[in-house]
Amino acid sequence: MKSKLATALIAIFIGVAAHAQQQFEEGIHYVRLPVPSETPDDSIEVTEIFSYACPHCMSLEGPLNSWLSDVPADVSLRRVPATFSEPYQMLAAVYYASEQIGVLEQMHAQIFEALHVRNLNVLRKDILERLFQDYADIDAETLDKALHSFAVQTKVRQADALSRVFRITSVPALIVAGEYKVTPPPGFGGAAQLQIVEHLIEQVRLMRSQSAVE
pLDDT digits (tens, 9 = 90+) for 105-136: 999 999 999 999 999 999 999 999 999 999 99
Does the reported pTM lie above 0.75? yes
Asked whether residue 37 is assigned to any structural domain, the reply reads no
Asked if omega into 172 is within 30° of 0 (cis), the reply is yes
How many other CB atoms are found less than 10 A from the CB of residue 31?
14
Per-residue confidence (pLDDT) for residue 28, from 0 to 100: 84
Per-residue confidence (pLDDT) for residue 212, from 0 to 100: 66
Asked whether residue 65 is assigned to any structural domain, the reply reads no
Asked whether residue 2 is assigned to any structural domain, the reply reads no
The number of folded domains in the chain is 1
Asked whether residue 71 is assigned to any structural domain, the reply reads no
Determine the average pLDDT of the residues in 178-201: 84
Determine the average pLDDT of the residues in 51-58: 95
Closest CA to 58 of 48, 47, 44, 68: 48
What confidence tier does 6 reach under pLDDT thresholds 50, 70, 90?
A: very low
Bridge partners for 173 per DSSP? 49
**What is the residue range of 118's domain?**
83-166
Asked whether residue 8 is assigned to any structural domain, the reply reads no
Per-residue confidence (pLDDT) for residue 214, from 0 to 100: 61
Burial 53-79 (b: 16+ CB within 10 A, else e): bbebbbbbbebbeebeeebeeebeeee
Asked whether residue 157 is assigned to any structural domain, the reply reads yes
Asked whether residue 36 is assigned to any structural domain, the reply reads no
Residues 15-51 pLDDT 10s: 444 444 458 889 888 999 998 898 988 899 999 999 9
As a whole number, the mean pLDDT across the chain is: 88
CB 116 within 8 A of CB 55: yes
Asked whether residue 108 is assigned to any structural domain, the reply reads yes
Per-residue confidence (pLDDT) for residue 41, from 0 to 100: 84
Contacts for 129 with CB less than 8 Å, ≥ 6 apart: 140, 143
